Amino acid sequence: MVASRPIRTAKELLAQQLIEEEQLATIADVAKQYAVSITPAMHSRIVDLDDPVARQFVPSSAELVTTPEEREDPIGDDPFTPVPGITHRYPDRVLLKPVLVCPVYCRFCFRREVVGPGDSLLKEDQLKAALDYIRARPEIWEVIFTGGDPLIMSPGRLEPILRELDAIEHVKVIRFHTRVPVVDPDRVTPELVAALTLDTPVWVVVHTNHSQEIGQEARRALRLLAGSGIPLLSQTVLLKGVNDTPEALEDLFRTLIVNRVKPYYLHHGDLAVGTSHFRTTIEEGQELVRRLRGRVSGVCQPTYVLDIPGGHGKVPIGPRYLGEDGASVTDPWGVAHAYPPKAPQE
């Protein structure tokens, strides 16, 4: 039976048969350290405890294992936070984090140390300072809502923030990064769409990692957003045991495209504390991306990227097709060809 509200504690996980009795104490320890929440929509998509949805949202004892390279702030947000709620790493864009809670908590989250516990919303004076920061810097071309999940906020809370950004002449694009359309699709309403409909273009980047997450209600939510003229992109994290096969990635990206969502980024797993069991090697990721090339349409192809630890930016790390000598190129099926091709012999 699907839970009627989010599952948030080890006891609730046990009651829903998502963990075993002997796991209860250990999972309670995990839940003390990292927030837990599984929405009814995601609970309904779990077929068994070893499937791609359960692996993403049901906590495990592996989260208590820390490796030496892991960091509490793996992509280096802190040094680029001039005022609360703002991260300004790149010259022409800022992250705006008005809320630090999510409808679900991914077990691999790179902000798992700060998302969930403590204050959930920016205080009124903090939000004003964040908007003033954006207003005072004409180099800021794009404002990216993230968090937490910004679409967990009601349209009534979002609308005044968006109106203020819409009035700033130098802000030309607003982007939302969110899991809501997939994991809590009932939040995608005509009222939300109305709040997102501005003179300033609003783009929505949907976070999803496996086609099994995308049920009929998620498809309805995506259709409502796309049908209202809001461009949709996707962001996916490469996860061991979840989507680290060419078949899983192909199915996900095809599913996204038919729901009018353009695959945007495939992220290599960040060095977040307690997430080593999810990380592939870069070489494994490059091979998966190479196998997709030529196998699926170009519109299905995301860019495979790594967020360099320490705040040094995001870079493409896809497979190399040009030979080291610059005189050959490898096709999608692994065959090398001279380039430019040699002239035919007379």
User: Catalytic site residues?
Assistant: 89-90, 93, 102, 106, 109, 111, 270, 307, 314
342 Cβ contact partners less than 8 Å away, ≥ 6 residues apart: none
Residue 219 neighbours by CB distance under 10 Å? 17
Q: Tell me the C-alpha distance between 133 and 308, whole Å.
A: 26
Strand, coil or helix: what is 127? helix
Identity of residue 291: R
User: Could you tell me what percentage of the chain is helix, strand and coil, using 3-state DSSP and rounding each to the nearest 5?
Assistant: 35, 15, 45
Strand, coil or helix: what is 166? helix
Q: Tell me the C-alpha distance between 92 and 142, whole Å.
A: 7
Q: Tell me the C-alpha distance between 123 and 217, whole Å.
A: 33
Burial 14-34 (b: 16+ CB within 10 A, else e): bebebbeeebeebbbebbeeb
Q: Tell me the C-alpha distance between 203 and 144, whole Å.
A: 9
Kind and range of the H or E run holding 161? helix 155-166
Burial 200-212 (b: 16+ CB within 10 A, else e): bebbbbbbbbbbb
Q: Are 57 and 106 in contact (CB under 8 A)?
A: yes
